[in-house]
């Protein structure tokens, strides 16, 4: 499992190419050769970039769902809608498909945000709005998510 760290401001060119920052490319170097999968996020208007090994683990979990249960089938269809395989080119650029750029509302200013084992790809304005929106309740959210008495994190 790759563990990614950092938030990076980038620019997208008119073709939807984003130059990966050197620090991020270094973190991704162990998985660059395997390629990536990009998809729309479930809860927000951003994109998610999965290293191929992480995507395969997720698909194994999905494959355990009974496809003869309608809600499972509907979920899988929606979750995988618009999914594309990507590679980082020789120049260190990531080409985001046009339909996904439109879905995420990505313009010229982009934020690549590490989310443990994947990267979130945001339009910078949207990213800043979401951070602002969630800032007020973050302490309560942190307590609810991480504050359980069985949790050994300090």
Does a structural domain hold residue 128? yes
Does a structural domain hold residue 76? yes
Assess whether pLDDT exceeds 90 at residue 54.
yes
Q: Which residues contact 73 (CB under 8 A, 6 or more apart)?
A: 67
SS3 label, residue 104: helix
Average pLDDT of the residues of the chain = 93
CA 52 to chain centre: 12
Confidence class for position 59, pLDDT limits 50, 70, 90: very high
Assess whether pLDDT exceeds 60 at residue 57.
yes
pLDDT per residue as tens digits for the range 77-115:
999 999 999 999 989 999 999 999 999 999 999 999 999
CATH of the domain at 64: 3.40.1550.20
Long-range (24+ apart) CB contacts under 8 A made by 25-33 are 25/88, 25/92, 27/2, 27/114, 28/2, 28/4, 28/88, 30/2, 31/2, 32/88
Does a structural domain hold residue 47? yes
Does a structural domain hold residue 40? yes
Does a structural domain hold residue 16? yes
CA-based end-to-end distance of the chain: 23
Does a structural domain hold residue 36? yes
Does a structural domain hold residue 153? no
Question: What confidence score (pLDDT) does residue 125 get?
Answer: 97
Assess whether pLDDT exceeds 70 at residue 154.
no
Does a structural domain hold residue 20? yes
């Amino acid at each position: 499992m790759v563990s990614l760290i950092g938030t990076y401001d980038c620019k997208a060119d008119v073709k939807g190419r984003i130059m990966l920052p050197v620090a991020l490319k270094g973190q991704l170097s162990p998985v660059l050769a395997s390629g990536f999968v990009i998809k729309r996020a479930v809860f927000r208007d951003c994109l998610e970039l999965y290293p191929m090994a992480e995507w395969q683990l997720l698909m194994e979990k999905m494959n355990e769902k009974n496809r003869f249960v309608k809600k499972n089938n509907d979920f899988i269809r929606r979750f995988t809608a618009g999914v594309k395989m990507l590679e980082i080119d020789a120049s260190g650029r990531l080409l985001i498909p046009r339909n996904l750029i439109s879905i995420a509302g990505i313009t010229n200013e982009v934020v690549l945000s590490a989310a443990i084992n994947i990267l979130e790809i945001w339009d910078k304005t949207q990213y800043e709005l979401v951070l602002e929106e969630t800032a007020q309740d973050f302490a309560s959210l942190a307590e609810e998510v991480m504050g359980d008495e069985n949790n050994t994190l300090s």
